[in-house]
Amino acid sequence: MNGRANNKCATIGMIRHLYIHIPFCARICPYCAFYKDLLDRSQTARFCEALLRDLDQQRAILAISPNTIYFGGGTPTALGISQLEFLLSGFHERLDLSALEEWTIEANPGSVSARKAGLLHKLGVNRISLGVQSWDNALLKILGREHNAEQAEQSFYILREAGFSNVNVDLMFGLPGQTIDQWRKTLEKTISLRPDHISAYCLTYEEDTEFFLRQSRGELKANPDADADFFEMTMSILEDAGYEQYEISNYSRPGFSSVHNRAYWFGKDYLGLGPSAFSTVGLRRWQNVADYRLYADRILLGQSPIGSTENLTNEMKRTERIALSLRTREGFSRTSVQDRHCVAEEFVAIGLLRQSNGNFVLTQKGKSLADSVAEAFL
Ligand code: SF4
């Protein structure tokens, strides 16, 4: 490590959490607001080369020794076996991974094979987040997913057979036309597979998506009352099955909460590589350009991929941390809201917050209104 990096290290500390954005998808889902693009196999090798160069650029500036690495997207498993091998080996060659606790890769059931799963496991990935979304084929069609329920189940078993003992299943509720009975069956089917972690998100109609357009034309309609029922059922069925709700949308078997996501929620620094990826280091936040061709062009020319930066204040970070940690089972500490103490007490009085070990924590009723409670502290 050069002197420059050591100086930075002394000023801002070691980077412990890495996020890598792989933007390729075999198919574009009509509700998705993430930065992604259709898989173009003629571009992926160049893109992987650029990612490793990006890592090299960052290593020249920052001290990096990750506890967690998270490959998200997009669909990281849309990359071919040789590209994944090139990329992951490149991380091994460039980073000290002796402190690594968790290395997650998001996978879509349509792009999981036994060979790919075996390679990922061999190269040190120890957590897979599988984008199942639903076990109902009619709903999967509405969501525009490339896989069906049978493929998703097969992928789950492939991952287990490859040796993954930490698998998350991603699910969505509040889908167009979805009944409470369909959602119950999806939860029960998921539980029967015994994944270690379950994420259950409510569909939101995000701007610049096909679903948003269809909603504005009146073809699709959000139903907050039904969403609240889905959410209540999720908490009750998953908790009865032994999953702990450690964040509003995330449930795990004991010992399997996501170290990487918890780092975000508790305001730790993180470095993002890849197009559109955010980084927050100290009081500086930046985002890379959300265009993978431009990203690769810039990196390969030795230029910065940063598209925008923001200077944060300690106050901004504090309020952000409250809003995020509020969603977790630990909540936020009394000392972090000294100036808004009375606001917190009012929420306690109306039964949305409770006090636990010196922290304010959402009650069961408060979990349904988490966003409104968080807003009061911003
Ligand atoms: S696979 Fe995931 S990232 Fe790709 S379009 Fe669908 S939801 Fe978005």
Are 251 and 367 members of one domain? Answer: no
Is the pLDDT score of 187 beyond 80? Answer: yes
Are 196 and 342 members of one domain? Answer: no
Q: Is 29 in the pocket of ligand 1 (CB under 6 A)?
A: yes
Are 158 and 255 members of one domain? Answer: yes
Of 232, 265, 298, which residue sits at a domain end? 265
Report how far residue 21's alpha carbon sits from residue 44's, in angstroms, rounded to the nearest whole number.
13
Q: Whose CA is nearest to atom 7 of ligand 1?
A: 32
Structural domain harbouring 365: 315-375
Is the pLDDT score of 6 beyond 90? Answer: no
Of 228, 247, 265, which residue sits at a domain end? 265
Q: Looking at the domain assignment, is residue 296 inside a domain?
A: no
Better pLDDT: 12 or 195:
195
Ligand 1 center to 182 CA (angstroms):
22
> What is the end-to-end Cα distance of the chain in Å, rounded?
40
For 340, what's the count of Cα atoms within 13 Å in the CB-facing half-sphere?
A: 20
Q: Is 250 in the pocket of ligand 1 (CB under 6 A)?
A: no
Predicted structure pTM score? 0.94
From the number of C-beta atoms within 10 Å of its C-beta (0-12, 13-18, 19+), residue 366 rates as: buried
Of 203, 237, 265, which residue sits at a domain end? 265
From the number of C-beta atoms within 10 Å of its C-beta (0-12, 13-18, 19+), residue 201 rates as: middle
pLDDT tens sequence across 306-356: 999 999 999 999 889 999 999 999 999 888 887 778 888 899 999 999 999
Is the pLDDT score of 89 beyond 50? Answer: yes
The per-residue b/e assignment along 65-79, b for 16 or more CB within 10 angstroms, e otherwise, is ebbbbbbbbbbbbbb
Q: Is 75 in the pocket of ligand 1 (CB under 6 A)?
A: yes
Residue 3 is predicted with a pLDDT of 36
Are 185 and 75 members of one domain? Answer: yes
Contact between residue 305 and residue 271 where contact means Cβ atoms under 8 Å apart: no
Residue to probe by mutation, ligand 1, list 20, 28, 212, most atoms within 8 Å of CB:
28
Q: Looking at the domain assignment, is residue 46 inside a domain?
A: yes
Are 50 and 172 members of one domain? Answer: yes
Q: Looking at the domain assignment, is residue 259 inside a domain?
A: yes
Are 136 and 217 members of one domain? Answer: yes
What's the CATH code of the domain at 250?
3.80.30.20
Average pLDDT for the chain: 94
Are 202 and 323 members of one domain? Answer: no
Q: Whose CA is nearest to atom 8 of ligand 1?
A: 32
Q: Is 321 in the pocket of ligand 1 (CB under 6 A)?
A: no
Q: Looking at the domain assignment, is residue 85 inside a domain?
A: yes
Are 250 and 366 members of one domain? Answer: no
Is the pLDDT score of 248 beyond 90? Answer: yes
Ligand 1 center to 316 CA (angstroms):
30
Residue 342 is predicted with a pLDDT of 85
Report the number of distinct structural domains present in the chain.
2
Are 252 and 124 members of one domain? Answer: yes
Are 209 and 71 members of one domain? Answer: yes
